[in-house]
Structure 1
């Protein structure tokens, strides 16, 4: 079992305890049971409220939470838990009404208009929250608008759900019980204050400025930032930061970018991003001297050359960015172990950093294997996609102590991971970083 898997199991256990804590608190003084199905449905509702509240903890980029698991894995967990919370929210009234049909009047506006409208609004808000998150790009929602809607709906659901639980008074009778339950639900939401207010307030004292904006191959921009003052960041190659461009760190315009510069050099930081979305398409227009605020570093996609006989990096498109940081760092630290980079692109013109990689081949024990799916006439390199046949053909198979790092689009990563498992590479030697996290 890999160290990351062990960490994930530990933090998963902590999460389960936190999610069940409000329910456990209420069960200290349970009311007289009406029916098994009815009480079960109420527990589902309480669990749903607890899970939704904890989403603020999971997505809040708190370095102490789930340390060593990898932020992309944490956000994937956040997404899956959100779908689970939706199922709990829907199951709560369905099972309750099946067990006690007479409670349908709770949803009847003629009986009590405000209560009925609020309950229906909570269900609609939960549906909207999950659907807008899963298919944000299909709906044409910009990241900034989605972030605003996402946070607003989540706060409404927690506040409304807590009010519903307290007013129903099924398990929340008594001042002590109600107060304890309310604190357990609202405590994770209180972390939003740290994330949205306190953290940006601290960041405003450590501004950075853009000193260079380089246009790379493949419609990619590299922003080079330097600190205004003596503050510095230490990071590991393969990690990323959240960047806000502009004069205020409180802006909703905050995006994750992988570092493409060496971790062995102090001072300036370089971030590279392909022009894919509304924000990244504006990167070429960012002028030097633009103020920036950065938060991080985050991520556990970190290569340790001391623990491997060699390192194989598999990149798809702009997924090469964290590997550039690794390679520059290995060069500066004089790493001598064998290195391979399998770099897949649709066309040769889209191969970002290709000149830099040629230079790094001379400076490191590095073999770069370009894979082009739509080659031009005269192309003599590898063609197609990163699959098992290509891996067997291009990489030596005589050493099982190499580490394998994969970053790129989901289809490419799924194919590469499956091929490595089929080739009997130990899962503890395979590390993936999925950059489509927001």
Structure 2
């Protein structure tokens, strides 16, 4: 079994264990008295929802000890899918319970117990808002900072409220042992939120960085260079990314991920390149040298195996070329001689950020750069259109079973490239995609 597949099975099992802990706790400490099957099923669905929601903090908190080998991109996609699953569980819990005993509808009647009824209604509504705002943030017009604050507040409310509801119902949680154990299991997720939002920034404040250069790039982009202030450094691998907070304090909702674009040869100084694509990236070209910054990371497994002599195929679309630039610049500094191929797609030739440097890299690396322009000028002589199976088959070498493939760019390009590679016989475990889109 491939190493990545083994890691996926291992951490999937770990996640399943975490999600089932609330059910395990109450069943082991107090076997339930006999009730209708629907009532017991509904109660267990609620406990499972609590476990899944509590486990979300483990997935999304950028904890290095959890599933680091799977890559943050994969964890993010898993986080989104399990969030939808948690929503379905939250909705299924009252539906199954009420269909079994309609009299329990009084739990939602504010005339019977206003606080209890309002809390339960708000828990369901908060879960709906949490999932919807995460899936369609841009459609709702939410800035990343506003969404991050909303996401954190709703998560704390839902997990804490769900725990309170489970304890107050008393069917499975009657007795101090069950209450304390369930509180410890769910409380762990709340502590992880505190660690990522408060303790981690507290540690970062002792490791400041400074913007030392801000240079415009072709394609409406800008490259910001940071220098460490002090004896700390950023030991990253080419292709990894970091989270950056600009300003005098790390305690800020304004924290964004960017791939490192510079060579990994100097840990005291690094650079990232961003295109104007959103509310935060639109402001980056105006960031003045001398601005303080705080850096968390590095993260990611979008990193070529240094022992793989078969080389690598790199596929980029637009500004998705930035982690690939870090890979190429690092290999240049190391004097690497492995064969490399780069398919680089842009709308126009003028949009091709780093095209001049890529031509220079072709001279010092065993690199074949293939530009693909979707909206070419009449005089364009290179590849045009989109990256598809025909282009991959025509311009890339036949897979040898060991070569690695790295894809970064807009979602449609990445989907098309993955499909084209798999159609050519490339094993999915040899394809590394960097597709997170949370900024």
TM-score above 0.5 = yes
* Equivalent residue runs for 1:63-102 within 5 Å: 63-102=64-103
Corresponding residue for residue 393 of structure 1: 394
Aligned to 2:150: 149
Counterpart of 2:21 in structure 1 is 21
For 1:154 and 1:264, the matched residues in 2 are separated by 40
**Counterparts of residues 236-315 of structure 1 (less than 5 Å):** 236-315=237-316
- How many pairs align? 438
Tell me what 1:6 maps to: 6
- Mapping of 1:5-404 within 5 angstroms? 5-28=5-28, 29-397=30-398, 399-404=400-405
Deviates more, 1:88-97 or 1:170-179: 170-179
2:417 corresponds to: 416
How far 1:256 moved relative to its partner? 0.2
Matched position secondary structure for 2:194 = helix
Bigger shift: 36-45 or 2-11?
Answer: 2-11
Cα displacement string for residues 10-68 of structure 1 (whole angstroms, at most 9, x for unaligned residues): 01101111111111110021221211111011000011111111111111111111121
Q: Is the 8 A contact 1:338 1:365 kept in 2?
A: yes
- Checking the alignment, whether the CA contact within 8 Å between 1:76 and 1:437 is kept in structure 2 is no
Q: Structure 1: how far apart are the matches of 2:410 and 2:267?
A: 31
Name stretches of at least 5 consecutive residues in structure 1 with no aligned partner.
none
1:204-235, Cα deviation, whole Å (9 max, x unpaired)? 11100000001111111111000111111111
Matched residues in 1 for 2:317 and 2:296: separation?
26
1:113 & 1:232 partners in 2: Cα distance? 55
Provide the secondary structure at the position in 2 that maps to 1:68. Answer: helix
User: Is this contact kept in 2: 1:108–1:116, CA < 8 A?
Assistant: yes
Structure 2, unaligned stretches of length 5 or more?
none
Tell me whether 142-151 or 156-165 shows the greater mean CA deviation: 156-165
Counterparts of 2:402 and 2:184, CA distance in 1: 49
**SS, match of residue 134 in structure 2:** helix
Choose 25-34 or 367-376, whichever is displaced more.
Answer: 25-34
Q: Deviations over 1:273-325 (max 9, x none)?
A: 11101000000010000000000000011102422412110001111101000
Cα distance in structure 1, aligned partners of 2:267 and 2:216: 23
Q: Per the alignment, do residues 7 and 191 of structure 1 end up closer, same or farther by CA in structure 2, a change over 3 Å counting? A: same
Partner residue of 2:432?
A: 431
CA contact (8 A) 2:236 2:267 kept: no
Go from structure 1 to structure 2 and tell me whether the alpha carbon gap of 1:398 and 1:137 turns closer, same or farther (over 3 Å shift): closer
Work out the CA distance in 1 between the residues paired with 2:76 and 2:217. Answer: 29
* Offset of residue 398 of structure 1: 6.3
1:156-185, CA deviations, whole angstroms, 9 ceiling, x for partnerless residues?
Answer: 111111111111101010011111111111
Determine if contact 2:166/2:173 at 8 Å carries over to the other structure: yes
Deviates most, 215-224 or 421-430: 421-430
**Structure 1 range deviating more: 392-401 or 275-284:** 392-401
CA distance in 2 between partners of 1:401 and 1:114 (Å): 61
Are 2:11 and 2:67, in contact at CA under 8 Å, matched by a contact in 1? yes
Question: Is the contact between residue 243 and residue 292 of structure 1 (CA under 8 Å) also seen in structure 2?
Answer: yes
Any conservation in 2 of the 1:72–1:437 contact (CA below 8 Å)? no
The whole-number CA distance in structure 2 between the counterparts of 1:62 and 1:366 is 36
Is the 1:54–1:189 contact (alpha carbons within 8 Å) kept by the matching residues of 2? no
Q: Tell me the secondary structure at the aligned position of residue 200 of structure 1.
A: helix
What is the distance in 2 between the residues matched to 1:205 and 1:144? 23
Contact kept, 8 Å, 1:208 with 1:293, in 2: the verdict is yes
* Counterpart Cα distance in 1 of 2:423 and 2:350: 32
Contact 2:250 2:294 in 1 (8 A): yes
CA distance in 2, matches of 1:239, 1:2: 22
Give the match's secondary structure for 1:306: coil
Q: Distance in 1 between matches of 2:123 and 2:427?
A: 45
Q: 1:258 to 1:398 in 2, by over 3 A?
A: closer
